[in-house]
Amino acid sequence: KQEVTQIPAALSVPEGENLVLNCSFTDSAIYNLQWFRQDPGKGLTSLLLIQSSQREQTSGRLNASLDKSSGRSTLYIAASQPGDSATYLCAVSMDSSYKLIFGSGTRLLVRP
Amino acid sequence: DVKVTQSSRYLVKRTGEKVFLECVQDMDHENMFWYRQDPGLGLRLIYFSYDVKMKEKGDIPEGYSVSREKKERFSLILESASTNQTSMYLCASSPTEPQHFGDGTRLSIL
């Protein structure tokens, strides 16, 4: 059974730092991997989607990488800002049914 | 922009009640999903639907049922609410991926 783990569970950094959030999964036969952002009391917003054949995706200050063989993905946030404070969730899909398996998230606080 | 609307942000019900959570999307998406989110457990899939009147069980369907009579609306039903169903419930829709989420319903069962 696929399990998705995110470490650390919480992270606090000063504004301007570059940071890396980690996601690992136990079954490497994934269909794709997504990173989401969740603000307190809100739903999820999709940030980046990486297909199983891709190595990375970029959007603005965000870069997500995927290493299927080692069961790992990282989300890199450049020049962090207080507005980046949120919980970041990683999720994998095992097939084209679009069902997602989520990690528990990393709660990020960027201090001014 | 895709809009997924959940009918209630907060809901308080009593044990044994039949509870309906409603979700509506405005983009003609085939796929709709219901998740619950609990601290330390993350999001877990309850049910999903890939077409009108079609449904499939997710990872934790026990105690829940769903209804999809129209493409834009997906309802989650707690047949007889219990305290262990107190949680945040999130609805999502998608044509393929990524999924678009509503803001959630925080449900408390007393």
Q: Is 90 exceeded by the pLDDT of residue B95? A: no
CA distances from B75 to A50, A85, B91, B96, B104 (A): 30, 32, 9, 20, 13
User: Cβ–Cβ of A104/B41 closer than 8 Å?
Assistant: yes
Q: Is 80 exceeded by the pLDDT of residue A98? A: no
- Per residue in B72-106, is it b (16+ CB within 10 Å) or e — as a string? bbbbbebeebeeebbbbbbbbbbeebbbbbbbbbb
Residue B99: per-residue pLDDT = 83
User: Of the candidates B50, B97, B100, which has its C-beta nearest A49's C-beta?
Assistant: B97
Q: Once rounded to an integer, what is the mean pLDDT over residues A80-100?
A: 91
Q: Is B100 on the interface with A (CB under 8 A)?
A: yes
Name the β-bridge partners of B43: B37
* Nearest chain A alpha carbon to B55: A97
Judge if the upstream peptide bond of residue A14 is cis by omega within 30 degrees of 0: no
Contact call for residues B46 and B32 (beta carbons, < 8 A): no
* Nearest chain A alpha carbon to B95: A98
Contact call for residues A103 and A6 (beta carbons, < 8 A): yes
* pLDDT tens-digit series, residues B46-78: 999 999 989 999 999 999 999 999 999 999 999
Nearest CA-CA distance, residue A44 and chain B, Å: 6
* pLDDT tens-digit series, residues A24-80: 999 999 999 999 999 988 889 999 999 999 999 999 999 999 999 999 999 999 999
- State whether residue A42 is helix, strand or coil: coil
